[in-house]
């Protein structure tokens, strides 16, 4: 086209071939964008930094002492250890107890930080990551609150409720898969509430939600909340594409899990292998139901009391705010998020201990959102129901209402917030103080027992342990393959993995030691009649070292199958309790 005259082209509003323009990106550089962003969000960033600092300090302070260890913490750390060191999903046969993405993230963390070593306690390493997860959840909760139209102060209230309740502080410190999954679900909610209502945010929300569900399957109960939010916040014209984006991405990512089982030939039950099908039906139907949450004496009721003993306020206030949440359009998804798991818990069935974790962000946002709704009728861009009603009542009334009512409302909201702060401070400070180190040290008896075993027990001996000490003992040279054995693996009637029972036909008689801990004792108490080999081992053993006192005592016991100590490796003198 060299014959074209450049002057002709310019007369037509065109440019000669080969001209170069600047990309929009060259003009609006990253630095310029960041400066603009900073200008718009300075106040929120400062507030978030302060909130994050509070959350980080309260969660990290004393995390190595309290609360007492849960068996699951050790299980997940052992599985993360297996991922990192052996490339397998579990130290024993992975039997699809949970989707593995939760401890894959744990393993990523321990791999990046090089945290597994003889110098650290594995469970504490995991708890360090939980502090990070709590900070992440808090930041996301703040963002979600803002996107739901809460004023900055009330979004901050939500974060403080969420992070400072002793119930939350206690459970958020534990290495539970729920704590890993909740930030992902919150991220899904934040994206579902995208102010631009963009398709990619909906698809991203689906990915985040799927990661959350693959971290902990019970988070699937948050699906109605995410979908409600997405539906309410999306535009009528693009809604079908946004919902399609969410459903397609979340379903496709979640599908990786059954696909994995299928590729391993473990999707459906068959002879000689575990299966996803069996595991799911075990979790849904096989586990002993915990009874009605309302019937005194049932396991579910005891579980509820455990939660409420730590703090009845956050959950209680959340339930009080529930009707408001349903009435106020912008809070409706949060109300769904709290109501659905509550209904599921009321329905009966097995009620896991960490179940409560996923309820807390919804409860916190409902309470803070209710205060915000008291402050002023909602006027967010998307769900402006109240102003519409005000408009119908007549412009003059609306204007007058706009001029006078908010002052009274603001006073009321501030008064309510102040009263809440006063009540909660009085109730929460003792609980939080106990958790940050003023209370008894629930963890160190276990460390004492570990140290004693490391110093006195030959590495070829076999030990029955709870999961919380497993990685530490393995890191100190005990054989991960049948050298240290999770206590419930001995009872082949209670789990779906026959590998241990098959490898050790003699059962507990082939073991030399049992570390009797609160974890084992409470498992025995909860499952009367089960775990017979563990009961036998304890019955046929003598204490050689003891740590702690009262219900928290941890004993190293030498097993004597024929009765009477025959231990060639018995120490000269048992150590006294520290």
Partner 1 sequence: MTPLILTLYALFGFLLFAVALATLWWMLHAWRTPEVLAATGFTVAADAPRLSFSLLVPGRHEEAVMGATLDTLVGSDHPDFEVIAIVGHDDDATREVAEAAAARHPDRVRVVVDHNWPKNKPKALNTALPHCRGDVVGVFDAEDEVDPRLLRQVDHAFRANDAHVVQGGVQLMNFRSSWYSLRNCLEYFFWFRSRLHLHAQHRFIPLGGNTVFCRTDVLRAVGGWDAECLAEDCELGVRLSTLGARVAIAYSPDLVTREETPGTLKSLFKQRTRWNQGFLQVLRKGEWRQLPTRRQRLLARYTLSMPFLQAFAGVGIIVSVVSAVFLRAPVALALFSFLPAVPTLATLAFEIAGLREFCRNYYVRARATDYLRLILGMFPYQLVLAAAAVRAVVREALGMRGWEKTAHVGAHRSAAVEAAMANPAGVTR
Q: Which stretch binds partner 1 (CB under 8 A): 123-131, 221-229, 239-247, 523-531?
A: 239-247
Q: Least distance from C-beta 14 to partner 1, angstroms?
A: 4
User: In this structure, are strands 541-547 and 463-465 parallel, antiparallel, or unpaired?
Assistant: unpaired
Per rule CB under 8 A, is residue 270 in the interface with partner 1?
Answer: no
Nearer to partner 1, 241 or 282 (CB): 241
DSSP character at residue 195: T
**Nearest alpha-carbon partner for 70 in 530, 526, 557, 533:** 526
CA-to-CA dists, residue 371 to 140, 330, 376, 378, angstroms: 19, 13, 9, 11
DSSP character at residue 348: -
Residues 174-233 that bind partner 1 (CB under 8 A): 196-200, 203
| Helices 239-254/223-233 angle, 10° precision | 150
Choosing from 27, 237, 502, 562, the residue that interacts with partner 1 (CB under 8 A) is 237
Q: Least distance from C-beta 214 to partner 1, angstroms?
A: 13
Name 466's Cβ contacts closer than 8 Å, sequence gap at least 6.
Answer: 71, 74, 486, 487, 515, 517, 519, 520, 523
**Residue pair 475/118 in contact by the 8 Å Cβ criterion:** yes
Cα angle: 478, vertex 482, 487; to 5 degrees:
100
**Nearest alpha-carbon partner for 148 in 417, 362, 318:** 362
Q: Least distance from C-beta 300 to partner 1, angstroms?
A: 37
* Three-state SS at 84: helix
Q: Least distance from C-beta 25 to partner 1, angstroms?
A: 8
Choosing from 44, 85, 238, 298, the residue that interacts with partner 1 (CB under 8 A) is 238
Nearer to partner 1, 276 or 514 (CB): 276
Per rule CB under 8 A, is residue 235 in the interface with partner 1?
Answer: yes
Nearer to partner 1, 277 or 492 (CB): 277
Per rule CB under 8 A, is residue 85 in the interface with partner 1?
Answer: no
Choosing from 120, 151, 152, 264, the residue that interacts with partner 1 (CB under 8 A) is 264
Q: Least distance from C-beta 180 to partner 1, angstroms?
A: 21
Residues 168, 311: Cα–Cα separation, whole Å: 8
Per rule CB under 8 A, is residue 565 in the interface with partner 1?
Answer: no
Per rule CB under 8 A, is residue 25 in the interface with partner 1?
Answer: yes
| Helices 166-173/152-164 angle, 10° precision | 70
Choosing from 61, 111, 231, 241, the residue that interacts with partner 1 (CB under 8 A) is 241
Per rule CB under 8 A, is residue 240 in the interface with partner 1?
Answer: yes
Per rule CB under 8 A, is residue 268 in the interface with partner 1?
Answer: no
Per rule CB under 8 A, is residue 245 in the interface with partner 1?
Answer: yes
Residues 427, 496: Cα–Cα separation, whole Å: 43
**Residue pair 83/104 in contact by the 8 Å Cβ criterion:** yes
Nearer to partner 1, 16 or 578 (CB): 16
Per rule CB under 8 A, is residue 430 in the interface with partner 1?
Answer: no
Residues 3-22 that bind partner 1 (CB under 8 A): 3-5, 8-9, 12-22
Per rule CB under 8 A, is residue 526 in the interface with partner 1?
Answer: no
Secondary structure (DSSP) of 445-489: HHHHHHHHHHHHS-TTS-EEE-GGGHHHHHHTT--TTTTEEEGGG
Per rule CB under 8 A, is residue 244 in the interface with partner 1?
Answer: yes
Nearer to partner 1, 13 or 505 (CB): 13
Residues 514, 525: Cα–Cα separation, whole Å: 17
Q: Least distance from C-beta 382 to partner 1, angstroms?
A: 11
Per rule CB under 8 A, is residue 273 in the interface with partner 1?
Answer: no
Cα of 96 vs its chain's centroid, Å: 19
Secondary structure (DSSP) of 399-432: HHHHHHHHHHHHHHHHHHHHHHHHHHHHHHHHHH
Give the number of residues in contact with partner 1, rule: CB under 8 A: 43
**Residue pair 298/346 in contact by the 8 Å Cβ criterion:** no
Choosing from 83, 130, 253, 471, the residue that interacts with partner 1 (CB under 8 A) is 253
Q: Least distance from C-beta 16 to partner 1, angstroms?
A: 7
Q: Least distance from C-beta 93 to partner 1, angstroms?
A: 15
Per rule CB under 8 A, is residue 319 in the interface with partner 1?
Answer: no
Binding positions for partner 1, rule: CB under 8 A:
1-5, 8-9, 12-23, 25, 196-200, 203, 235, 237-238, 240-241, 244-245, 247-249, 252-253, 256, 259-260, 263-264
């Amino acid at each position: 086209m060299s014959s074209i005259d450049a002057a002709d082209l310019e007369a037509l509003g065109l440019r000669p071939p080969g001209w170069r323009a600047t990309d929009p990106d060259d003009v609006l550089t990253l630095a310029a964008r960041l400066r603009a962003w900073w200008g718009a969000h300075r106040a929120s960033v400062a507030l978030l930094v302060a909130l994050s600092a509070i959350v980080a300090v309260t969660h990290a302070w004393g995390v190595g002492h309290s609360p007492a260890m849960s068996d699951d913490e050790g299980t997940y750390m052992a599985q993360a250890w297996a991922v990192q060191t052996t490339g397998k999903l579990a130290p024993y046969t992975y039997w699809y107890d949970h989707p593995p993405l939760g401890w894959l993230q744990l393993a990523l963390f321990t791999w990046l930080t090089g945290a597994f070593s003889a110098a650290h306690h594995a469970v504490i390493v995991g708890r360090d990551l939980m502090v990070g997860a709590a900070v992440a959840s808090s930041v996301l909760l703040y963002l979600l609150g803002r996107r739901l139209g809460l004023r900055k102060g009330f979004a901050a209230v939500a974060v403080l409720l969420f992070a400072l309740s002793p119930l939350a502080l206690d459970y958020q410190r534990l290495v539970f898969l729920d704590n890993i999954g909740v930030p992902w679900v919150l991220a899904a909610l934040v994206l579902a509430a995208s102010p631009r209502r963009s398709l990619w945010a909906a698809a991203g929300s689906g990915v985040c939600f799927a990661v959350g569900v693959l971290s902990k399957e019970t988070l699937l109960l948050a699906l109605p909340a995410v979908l409600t939010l997405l539906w309410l916040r999306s535009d009528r014209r693009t809604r079908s594409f946004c919902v399609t984006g969410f459903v397609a991405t979340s379903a496709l990512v979640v599908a990786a899990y059954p696909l994995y089982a299928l590729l391993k030939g473990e999707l459906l039950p068959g002879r000689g292998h575990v299966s996803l099908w069996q595991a799911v039906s075990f979790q849904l139907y096989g586990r002993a139901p915990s009874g009605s949450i309302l019937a005194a004496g049932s396991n579910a009721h005891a579980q509820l009391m455990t939660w409420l003993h730590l703090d009845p306020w956050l959950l209680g206030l959340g339930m009080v705010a529930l009707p408001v949440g349903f009435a106020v359009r912008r809070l409706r998804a949060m109300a769904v998020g709290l109501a659905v798991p509550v209904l599921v818990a009321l329905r009966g069935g097995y009620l896991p201990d960490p179940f409560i974790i996923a309820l807390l962000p919804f409860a916190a946002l409902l309470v803070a959102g209710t205060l915000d709704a008291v402050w002023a009728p909602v006027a967010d861009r998307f769900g402006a129901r109240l102003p519409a009603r005000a408009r119908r009542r007549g412009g003059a009334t609306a204007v007058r209402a706009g001029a006078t009512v908010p002052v009274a409302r603001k006073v009321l909201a501030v008064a309510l917030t102040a009263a809440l702060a006063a009540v909660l401070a009085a109730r929460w400070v003792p609980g939080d103080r106990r958790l940050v180190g003023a209370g008894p040290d629930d963890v160190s008896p276990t460390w004492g027992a570990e140290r004693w075993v490391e110093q006195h027990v030959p590495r070829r001996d076999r030990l029955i342990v709870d999961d919380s000490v497993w990685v530490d003992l393995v890191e100190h040279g005990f054989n991960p393959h049948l050298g240290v054995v999770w206590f419930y693996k001995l009872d082949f009637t209670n789990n779906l993995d026959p590998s241990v029972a098959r490898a050790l036909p003699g059962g507990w008689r082939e073991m030399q030691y049992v570390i009797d801990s609160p974890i084992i004792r409470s498992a025995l108490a909860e499952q009367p009649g089960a775990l017979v080999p563990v009961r036998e081992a304890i019955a046929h053993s003598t204490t050689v070292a003891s740590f702690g006192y009262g219900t928290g005592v941890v004993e190293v016991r030498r097993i004597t199958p024929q009765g009477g100590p025959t231990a060639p490796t018995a120490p000269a003198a048992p150590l006294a309790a520290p």
